[in-house]
Structure 1
Amino acid sequence: MINALGLLKRRRFLPLFVTQFLGAFNDNLFKTSMVLFATYAIFNDAAKEANFNALATGIGILPFFLLSALAGQLADSHDKARIIRIVKAAEIAIMAVGATGLMLARGGFINAGLAMMLGAVLLLGIHSTFFGPIKYAILPQHLAPCDVLGGTGLVEAGTYLAILAGTVVAGWIPIEGAAATVLAIAVIGWLAGRQVPPAPREGPPLKLNYNPLTASWRLISATMHIPRLFLAICAISFFWTIGSVLIIVFPPLVKNVLTADERVASGVIAVFSVGVAIGSVIINTMLKGRISARYAPASVIGMGIFVVLFSILARNWQSAPAGQLLGWSAFMAHPGALAVLATLLAIAVTGGMFVVPLYAFLTTTVEKDQTARTVAANNVVNAGAMTIGAIVVLFLTTGLGVSSENMLLVVAGMCLISAGIAQRLHRVCDREDACLPCG
């Protein structure tokens, strides 16, 4: 196995990496700018802030329900590089809508601005639905089997580093700067996407099913009967359910519990992003290119332990004086700040170690002409799990009045369920000898 970072020198990998990096950066820059603006400049109520974040999350997930099956079929029946170019061209128009919404909200046209921003979130969900299967499914087509885990890890690490960059930028630039930046990055991403080498269809032509309900059902049925794929998809889905809860809870928690401003909120999310990237690289090194769930149970149990610790730290946090929010300097001077950031980093590192090998399962245990549909089936199930997570957050926070600190304990319990699923996956792999060695 070549050093995973050496893949960045490869013509068959670098353009894809840059394209997905810029896409993740842009998506996160826009969404974080929107959420921070709504949290700190529009709403002044923790429940309303959590509800808006949950609504935005649900809208962004909806396309995965309806269009993942079609996206997987198209990716397996057409040149994946051509689809990338079409999707990246569409991103320019989507960001024009989103940038207009940001400016309208900034100018005082709150309802119109929020409507356009949420509309852009929906369109970005469609964009991600069609790009998501490709960024993983194209790897076995462009890389040797020994390099797929390394490539998957780099894609995952790059995604979270892009989230880091987008989050930091969103917290520090004004809304006007965010609106201009998302448009510029969309154009650069389109140019990078044009450099991705061809990845034509492999296998016989497919007859496309345009009915979202029957297509999704057939897609999942064709995948979930395979034990190792069923368990991998279930484990990934629980992970993203956990992720959706954390994404919804974090901004209100930072504002109302840690009593910190939007720059600190972006920094907290950035630390989480760095941790997932680090975990992605660590697990590739530990497994030495072998696609295995060996360390997944321990990783997600560790994640749950650190989530509980974070909840304890939040409960014992000394709040800022009433009516004040801590800036970055004041936050870092707080006696509990380093412990909070270190715990968040540990949550993210263990999360990255858990999920990366599971994505590699999806693309290496099926034929190459089925990889995009397998990833798409995973996306449908993930979307369902994340939607359930958003609904649970709405019910617990609005209906039962559960605090952000207690929502973290719900997350910790979900980590235990993920560990059980991952342990079953590891046992199935041992029986079927399905884990792929490097050699």
Structure 2
Amino acid sequence: MPARAMSRTSTGKHRHTIRMTTSTNLMRQRRFLPLFLTQLLNALNDNLYKNAMVLFVVYQVYDSPETETFISGIATAVFVLPFVLFSATSGQLADMRDKAKIIRWIKLAEIIIMSVGAVGLVMAARGVSIETLAIPLLFVALFAMGVHSTFFGPIKYAILPQHLEKDEVLAGTGLVEAGTYVAILVGMMLGGALPIMASTIAVVAIALVGYMICRWVPPAPPQTTETTVDWNPIRASRSLIAFSMGNPELRYSVLAISFFWTIAAILSVQFIPLAKNVLLADKQVAAVMLVAFSAGIAIGSVSINALLKGDISARYSAASVLALGGFLISFYLLCRIWNLTPAADLFTVGEFMVQPLALALLANLVLIAVAGGMFVVPLYAFLTTRVEKHEASRSVAANNFISSVFMVVGAGVAGGLGFLGIPLQEQLLASLILCLFSAQLARRLHALEHQREPEFG
């Protein structure tokens, strides 16, 4: 082999080795590990609290499919609403203040928020002023956790380039995303499995641990000379929308992602009432369905990255979201023909899993989510690679804002359909039209890939 060829081969192997070991090395570094653990615990607590709250209200407080779907929809909307109100402000803060200091204030607030939520859960569990005080407290804490997540979201992405080397950023981002999915899965499982009193202790304990860990995040001073934050949410949001809509690739990415999360919001609102009233299953089965959905998104994320081999492209996105629609139709048909009756009031997990259609239902649900993950993950890469580096935080904030508006509308529509008495199975079909919109946006985005100049590396 010629010396030059041997040199190229050696260099390629060396780079491959660096990529393979970067993730392992980062997990031992103070410049990354505290942030990784802080984000993991943040996602864990969000999902543990939200699922414990919704499952308890649906299964222990109300006994009406219409009311349960409505409450589930309101819970999703309440959590997402702060992203609509404060995403623009949070994006500015992520660029104009020390991110590590903001994280500490956010995590300190989480302790207070979870304490309020815990009081509401205890009151509801003991039957004390359930509708007049306990449930309002639960929703106040849920809204506050939404505010908490709104301000933490842009920081977790914007801080990585400050603490990591250029060739470590991708590995760091991947680890943060993987940790988030794991935390969502664990939070959902704990929310369904833990007794309500144990959940109240857990959410406060996790908040305390998260605050202690976040204090180890290294300083991350602002990288811009701008210091004035626009605290007017309407004006700041209008500016953010203009920014995101002015870049064609960013516009199509944000809108396609937003339609996807609208579908996810509608489905997540329907899962718990669907499990109870159509599948006649208990709250542990509902939790299993939510876990299966999140696991599917994680699988789809890994699959599309392997398929694209690191290339940031939307070439598979349209086909993925159309596949999602096809799997959604088959899931609907399986729910329609489900006519099994439990021996007691509701199927337990063990009883549910041995039913003839159970595995097909769960497999179908996983496939819906796999297709969703394959659709949305490449689009997220466009948010930070199709803008200048100093605009990356605004790009993420713009996506959070617009996606949240869509999700609030989607959750409201789902809750409204339930309140109007439309059967839960039929509500599943409301997402199909959104799949078509998303596919068209993905096609336009992919078409732009062939027209753009390589302006951003």
The two structures share one fold, judged by TM-score above 0.5: yes
The CA deviation at 1:369 is 2.7
The answer on 1:331 being equivalent to 2:352 is yes
What is the aligned partner in structure 2 of residue 28 from structure 1? 47
The CA deviation at 1:376 is 1.2
AA aligned opposite 1:325: L
The CA deviation at 1:250 is 0.5
TM-score relative to the length of structure 1: 0.94
- Which stretches in structure 2 are left out of the alignment for 5+ residues? 1-15
Q: Which moved more, 1:190-199 or 1:325-334?
A: 190-199
Q: Is the 8 A contact 1:255 1:261 kept in 2?
A: yes
Q: Which residue among 108, 112, 124 is the counterpart of 1:89?
A: 108
% identity of equivalent residues:
49
The CA deviation at 1:436 is 7.0
Q: Is the 8 A contact 1:229 1:362 kept in 2?
A: yes
Task: Tell me the distance in 2 between the aligned counterparts of 1:134 and 1:190.
Answer: 16
What is the aligned partner in structure 2 of residue 225 from structure 1? 246
Task: Tell me the distance in 2 between the aligned counterparts of 1:255 and 1:434.
Answer: 52
Q: Which moved more, 1:71-80 or 1:426-435?
A: 426-435
What is the aligned partner in structure 1 of residue 76 from structure 2? 57
Change (3 A) 1:194 1:387: same
What is the aligned partner in structure 2 of residue 269 from structure 1? 290
What is the aligned partner in structure 2 of residue 394 from structure 1? 415
Please state whether the residue corresponding to 1:41 is helix, strand or coil.
helix
**What are the Cα deviations for residues 254-301 of structure 1, in whole angstroms up to 9, with x where unaligned?**
001111001111111111111112222222222222222222112212
The answer on 1:170 being equivalent to 2:191 is yes
Change (3 A) 1:325 1:433: farther
Task: Tell me the distance in 2 between the aligned counterparts of 1:311 and 1:146.
Answer: 45
Matched ranges for 1:92-131 at <5 A: 92-109=111-128, 110-111=130-131, 112-131=133-152
Please state whether the residue corresponding to 1:383 is helix, strand or coil.
helix
The CA deviation at 1:142 is 3.8
AA aligned opposite 1:236: I
What is the aligned partner in structure 2 of residue 426 from structure 1? 446
What is the aligned partner in structure 2 of residue 404 from structure 1? 424
Task: Tell me the distance in 2 between the aligned counterparts of 1:291 and 1:202.
Answer: 26
What is the aligned partner in structure 2 of residue 68 from structure 1? 87
Q: Which moved more, 1:414-423 or 1:149-158?
A: 149-158
The CA deviation at 1:435 is 9.3
Q: Which moved more, 1:42-51 or 1:83-92?
A: 83-92
Change (3 A) 1:256 1:5: farther
The CA deviation at 1:146 is 5.3
Task: Tell me the distance in 1 between the aligned counterparts of 2:329 and 2:168.
Answer: 36
Q: Which residue among 396, 420, 435 is the counterpart of 1:415?
A: 435
Moved over 3 A (4+): 3-13, 139-154, 433-437
Matched ranges for 1:14-413 at <5 A: 14-109=33-128, 110-111=130-131, 112-143=133-164, 148-321=169-342, 324-399=345-420, 401-413=421-433
Task: Tell me the distance in 2 between the aligned counterparts of 1:137 and 1:303.
Answer: 31
The CA deviation at 1:179 is 0.2
The CA deviation at 1:147 is 5.1
Task: Tell me the distance in 1 between the aligned counterparts of 2:332 and 2:236.
Answer: 41
Q: Is the 8 A contact 2:74 2:412 kept in 1?
A: no
Change (3 A) 1:332 1:428: same
- Which stretches in structure 1 are left out of the alignment for 5+ residues? none
The CA deviation at 1:430 is 2.3
Please state whether the residue corresponding to 2:179 is helix, strand or coil.
helix
**What are the Cα deviations for residues 184-229 of structure 1, in whole angstroms up to 9, with x where unaligned?**
1111111222222333222322421111101110122122200111
The CA deviation at 1:9 is 4.6
Task: Tell me the distance in 1 between the aligned counterparts of 2:383 and 2:341.
Answer: 46
Equivalent residues, number: 436
Please state whether the residue corresponding to 2:432 is helix, strand or coil.
helix
Q: Is the 8 A contact 2:327 2:368 kept in 1?
A: yes
Please state whether the residue corresponding to 1:203 is helix, strand or coil.
coil
Change (3 A) 1:5 1:332: farther
Q: Which moved more, 1:239-248 or 1:56-65?
A: 56-65
Q: Which moved more, 1:189-198 or 1:143-152?
A: 143-152
AA aligned opposite 1:44: D
**What are the Cα deviations for residues 361-415 of structure 1, in whole angstroms up to 9, with x where unaligned?**
212322333222221111111111011112222333323x322212222213311
Choose 1 or 2 for highest CA Rg: 2
TM-score relative to the length of structure 2: 0.90
The CA deviation at 1:166 is 0.8
The CA deviation at 1:107 is 1.0
